[in-house]
Chain A
């Protein structure tokens, strides 16, 4: 018999009914993606995670900037085709200037705003009254490096205080010789950070 309420969250064995994740241990990007996806799932999954709600605004903003840029490029192409140069000059100037400004905006956005963020999730108040607490997860794994950094920050909805914690470890800590992800070990790592951030709150 399943119990209702938040006691159920996080209690199902994580990944129990899933096939083990296996990656090419030499492929840094695959390794990072695997770890990132598990970390995200722990925070967002309703059944075996904390069930926080993923917020896509950060990613959507980047997608929007790119989409508008592509639209300007297409507009330039089409217009130049319909009314060949030099008639297309004014429209071309507009499109080109807009495009490169947007590319600049995109660079600034991904460098300073998006950075290494892989997840922004909202922890909704059970009663539905208080503002959400916001969990932000970022990670990095440099090329040809084996040190993976997992960084979680917590912003309290009511007090607007924020705390953060991170772990920096070699990816070898969580993968075996064949590249199979040791789910339990990594899950525990993530849950520890999560608990430590929540625990800090209670101390105050």
Chain B
């Protein structure tokens, strides 16, 4: 004689499965909320290598990508170039805006001697709007 009926055993097993899933889904959904609030695909970024003054490996960045918040020279932005998966956090040093509203940016790491053109794919001299992941709003040091 079993102590627990099959029906109950099934439910208990399913219940345990859900109890494992729920903390994970809550974490995922909280991340999605951050995405929605910041209007950005990856609202939090961790620095992997140095390149800016005052910023070191392990710093955690909060970024946003609002359409009405334009990027200016001097802003720190996070961008991605084709062929590289890791986003790069550098400063905007030049900015062009064409007559139809297209924006072109040139970035450079503060600590680097040259601008980032060497990082851009061959043939690309400027970053376009789509390459930008977001503008840095703030950061916490040494957490990542």
The residues of A with any CB-CB pair to B shorter than 8 Å are 17-18, 21, 37-38, 41, 44-45, 47-48, 54, 56, 59-60, 62-63, 66-67, 69-70, 73-74, 76-77, 80, 84-86, 89, 92-93, 95-96, 99-100, 103
Is the pair A66, B22 in contact by a Cβ cutoff of 8 Å? yes
User: Do B5 and A44 have beta carbons less than 8 Å apart?
Assistant: yes
Query: Which of the segments B33-41, B104-112, B121-129 contacts the partner chain?
Result: B33-41
CB–CB B7/A54 < 8 A: yes
Is B142 part of the contact surface with A, judged by Cβ < 8 Å? no
In the complex, the answer to whether A63 meets B15 with C-beta atoms within 8 Å is: yes
Known: A17-B1, A37-B3, A54-B7. A69 touches B22 (CB 8 A): yes
User: In the assembled complex, which residues on chain A have CB atoms less than 8 Å from the CB atom of B3?
Assistant: 18, 21, 37-38, 41
Which parts of B43-97 form the interface with A (CB within 8 Å)? none
Known: A63-B15, A76-B28, A85-B40. 8 other contacts (CB 8 A): A18-B3, A41-B3, A44-B5, A66-B18, A69-B25, A74-B25, A76-B32, A77-B28
Task: Give the CA-CA distance A102 to B79 in the complex, in Å.
Answer: 36
Count of residues in B whose CB is under 8 Å from the partner chain: 23
Question: Within B4-32, which residues are at the interface with A (CB < 8 Å)?
Answer: 4-5, 7-8, 11, 14-15, 18, 21-22, 25-26, 28-29, 32
Contacting pair B1 A47 (CB below 8 A)? yes
The interface residues of chain A lying within 8 Å CB-to-CB of B14 are: 63
Q: Looking at A47, A74, A84, A85, which has the most chain B CB atoms within 10 Å of its CB? A: A85
B28–A63 contact, CB under 8 A? no
Give A37's nearest chain B residue, CB to CB: B3
Query: Nearest chain B CB to A85's CB is how many angstroms away?
Result: 5
Report Cα–Cα, A59/B26, bound state, in Å. 21
From B1, B8, B18, give the contact of A63 (CB < 8 A).
B18
Which residues of B have CB within 8 Å of A47? 1
Q: What are some 5 contacts across the A-B interface (CB < 8 A)?
A: A41-B3, A54-B8, A74-B25, A96-B32, A96-B36
Q: Is the CB of A60 within 8 A of B18?
A: no
